[in-house]
Amino acid sequence: MFNAVIRRKLSSASNGALTILQYHKVPLCAPEYIEGEVLASDFSWGLEQFKEWFNFLPLDEAIHRLKIHDLPPRSAVLSFDDGYADWFDHVVPALLEHKVPATFFVTSAQLNCSKPFWHERVAVALAKRGVDRLPQEFNFATSAGGAEIGLAQTIIAVQNHLKYLPLAEREAAIAVLEADLPLSGDYRPFRSADLIRLRDAGFQIGGHSRHHPILTSCDATQAKDEIGGCKEELEGILREPVTAFAYPNGRPDCDFNASHVALVEAVGYRHAVTTAPGVSRSDTDPFQLPRFTPWARSSWRSALQFLRNMRVSPKMVKV
C-alpha cells in the first residue's frame, strides 16, 4: 500500500524524467572520523526500498530512451564513482542478487596504484597525527570561527582546501602530512582485473578522469589528458568503447566549465554526468546529466527526498 502510494506520487512528479543516483565507496564499515559515508547496510536497505519504486535501467539505454521519449515511468540509473576494491565486498553481490544494472565511473591512474585515493590518504594521515600534531601550514583547518573543531571536521577542511590545488601541489602537501608516519599495510588497490570483472558481470564502465583533478584547476593540455587519456586507458584494458564520463567533483562552473563539456564530446564520450542535483529530461544536455544521492534512512524521508529532487532545476554550465 505504502509503496503503491509512493509509486503514484513519483510517477506524477517525475513526468517522464530520469533519476540518476550517485554513490562512492559504500564500505562495510568506516572509521568514526569519516562523516557522511554511505555504508553497505544503508545501501542494502536503499536498494531493496528503491527497487519497489523505480525501474532501474543501464545508463546508455536510459539516455537513449529518454531522447526518443520511450522512458518507462519512474526510471532510474545507479552510478558509482572513483574505483574501490570495496565494491566487490557488498555492492556488486547486492546488485547481482537484485539484478540491478549500474555504471562504475573509474579514475584510470588510480588502477593498480599502491596508495589509496588522495582524499583517503589525507584522512588516514590526519587521524594518525591527531589535530594537535599537524604541520603548521595546516593549522587553518583546526578551528572554525575561532572555535576548535574535531578530527572529522578538520579532515573535511583539509580535503576541501587540497581539492582545488593543482595536482603536483596537492601531492606535495599530502607528502608533508604523511612524512614520518608509518605506512598502512591494509590497502587493497582496485586493479585492471577488477575493471574487467565488473564489465564481465554486465556492468558499464565509465571514465572519471586519470587523476581526479578539479578540471578548472587544470590547463587545457592537462584537462585534455585527464578526460581523453582516461578514455584511452580504460578502453586499452576493456577493448571496447567507453561512452560515459563523470566530471571529478562534478559541480557545474565550479569544478568544470564549457570547455570541459566540449572536450568530453570531442574525445568521443556520448554522455556525461555531474553532481548537480535534479533529474534529466528529454531536452537535458546529454553531457551534463544531473545526479542525486538519497541519504535518508527511512522510507518516508527517502521518498520526500526523491520527490524534492524531481522539482530541482539542475544547474548547468552555459555551452
Q: Which residues fall within 8 angstroms of residue 12, CB to CB, at 6 or more apart? A: none
Q: How far is the CB of 209 from Zn ion (least distance, A)?
A: 8
- Based on CB atoms, which residue is closest to Zn ion, 23 or 53? 23
Backbone angles phi, psi at 85, to 5 degrees: -60, -25
Q: How far is the CB of 184 from Zn ion (least distance, A)?
A: 21
- Based on CB atoms, which residue is closest to Zn ion, 71 or 198? 198
- By CB under 5 A, residue 265 contacts Zn ion: no
- Based on CB atoms, which residue is closest to Zn ion, 82 or 226? 82
- Based on CB atoms, which residue is closest to Zn ion, 83 or 228? 83
CB–CB of 67/59 below 8 Å?
Answer: no
Candidate segments 82-90, 172-180, 193-201, 282-290, binder of Zn ion by CB under 5 A: 82-90
- Based on CB atoms, which residue is closest to Zn ion, 82 or 255? 82
Alpha-carbon span 281 to 19, nearest angstrom:
9
Q: How far is the CB of 261 from Zn ion (least distance, A)?
A: 17
- Based on CB atoms, which residue is closest to Zn ion, 74 or 212? 212
- Based on CB atoms, which residue is closest to Zn ion, 53 or 203? 203
- By CB under 5 A, residue 226 contacts Zn ion: no
CB–CB of 147/159 below 8 Å?
Answer: no
- Based on CB atoms, which residue is closest to Zn ion, 82 or 265? 82
- Based on CB atoms, which residue is closest to Zn ion, 123 or 310? 123
How do beta strands 75-82 and 18-23 pair? parallel
Candidate segments 76-84, 91-99, 215-223, 297-305, binder of Zn ion by CB under 5 A: 76-84
- Kindly state the number of chain residues that form the binding site for Zn ion, as judged by CB under 5 A: 2
Residue 77 grid cell:
540509473
Candidate segments 8-16, 75-83, 224-232, 301-309, binder of Zn ion by CB under 5 A: 75-83
Q: How far is the CB of 247 from Zn ion (least distance, A)?
A: 9
Q: How far is the CB of 24 from Zn ion (least distance, A)?
A: 7
Which neighbouring-strand residues pair with 292? 21
Scanning 131-271, the segments in alpha helix (DSSP H) are 151-163, 167-178, 192-200, 220-238, 258-266
Q: How many CA atoms lie within 13 A of 287 on its CB side?
A: 19
Exactly one of 53, 59, 82, 124 binds Zn ion (CB under 5 A); which one? 82
Measured at CB, which residue is nearest to Zn ion? 81
Q: How far is the CB of 248 from Zn ion (least distance, A)?
A: 5
- Check the CA dihedral 42-111-194-51 and report its sign: positive
Neighbours of 298 (CB within 10 A): 10
Alpha-carbon span 139 to 50, nearest angstrom:
43
Candidate segments 8-16, 73-81, 130-138, 235-243, binder of Zn ion by CB under 5 A: 73-81
- By CB under 5 A, residue 81 contacts Zn ion: yes
Alpha-carbon span 165 to 81, nearest angstrom:
21
Q: How far is the CB of 8 from Zn ion (least distance, A)?
A: 35
Alpha-carbon span 270 to 87, nearest angstrom:
25
Say if residue 314 is exposed, middle or buried (CB neighbours under 10 Å; 0-12, 13-18, 19+): buried
Q: How far is the CB of 144 from Zn ion (least distance, A)?
A: 25
Q: How far is the CB of 274 from Zn ion (least distance, A)?
A: 12
Alpha-carbon span 57 to 101, nearest angstrom:
6
CB–CB of 264/272 below 8 Å?
Answer: yes
Which residues of the shown chain bind Zn ion in the complex (CB under 5 A)? 81-82
